Amino acid sequence: MTQLVNEGKGAIFDLDGTLLDSMGVWKEVDRLFFERRGISMPPDYAHAVAAMQSGDIADYTIRRFSLDEDREDLMREWTDTAEELYANQVRTKPHALEYLHHLRSTGAKLAVATSLAPRLRDAALLHAGIRDCFDVVCSVDDAGLGGKERPDIFLYAAKNLGVAPEDCTVFEDILIAVLTAKSVGMQVWAMFDASSQGDWERIRKEADGVIRDFDQAPLRL
């Protein structure tokens, strides 16, 4: 009989760059967006918007590049482009599915907490074949104002799992999300992703543990 060593514990997973090897999707979305407008994409753009909600990204982009466009039009363009890529190209990080099954079989409750809009989130989970692994699936838009620079999304996920924040382990790949989850008493394991390489040394210092694929993740939360 499998021991329920993780009973009463919660595991909260980011999608892009953590569970999913999908950051290339946004590189392509950004590339096409700027190419259509004849703008050279600044090297710091992806990092600057990494933890923002889509509406905030649109506002930032319009302001930074002095675009005479509506935020809704930008968001629609990004979503349409990204949905096709998420629905057909994304894959999980190595050993992710096995790890999710291990946590469920040992009593943990699992949540997705992502900055992705629900339409993209659902397309990605369906294509990757992992939707049924989760008790709760939520996006920052479900939790209130702000992205992962605020703890709302993590507290929302914990509340809906029925697990206290201090009994939750968060899996993330970007520095601001690591810091935010830690600020509300959650344990944090950081997944290496090339998109966050510039922050990796700081992430290593701030996180409770670091992994490069899920066969290195803790078996007991």
Summarised one tens digit per residue, pLDDT across range 126-149 is 999 999 999 999 999 888 777 899
Structural domains of the chain, with CATH: 10-22+90-216 (3.40.50.1000), 24-88 (1.10.150)
Locate 135 and state its tokens.
Answer: 């008790």
What residues contact residue 161 under an 8 Å CB cut-off, 6+ apart? 10, 12, 109, 110, 111, 135, 136, 168
As a three-state string, the secondary structure of 74-122 is HHHHHHHHHHHHHHHCCCECCCHHHHHHHHHHCCCEEEEEECCCHHHHH
Q: Left if phi > 0, otherwise alpha if psi is -120 to 50, otherwise beta: which for 170?
A: beta
Residue 2 sits at φ, ψ, to 5 deg, of -70, 130
Q: What is the pTM of this model?
A: 0.88
Per-residue pLDDT of the chain (221 residues; tens, 9 = 90+): 468 999 999 999 999 999 999 878 988 999 999 999 999 999 999 889 987 888 899 999 999 999 999 999 999 999 999 999 999 999 999 999 999 999 999 999 999 999 998 999 999 999 999 999 999 999 998 887 778 999 999 999 999 999 999 999 999 999 999 999 999 999 999 999 988 899 999 999 999 999 999 999 999 99
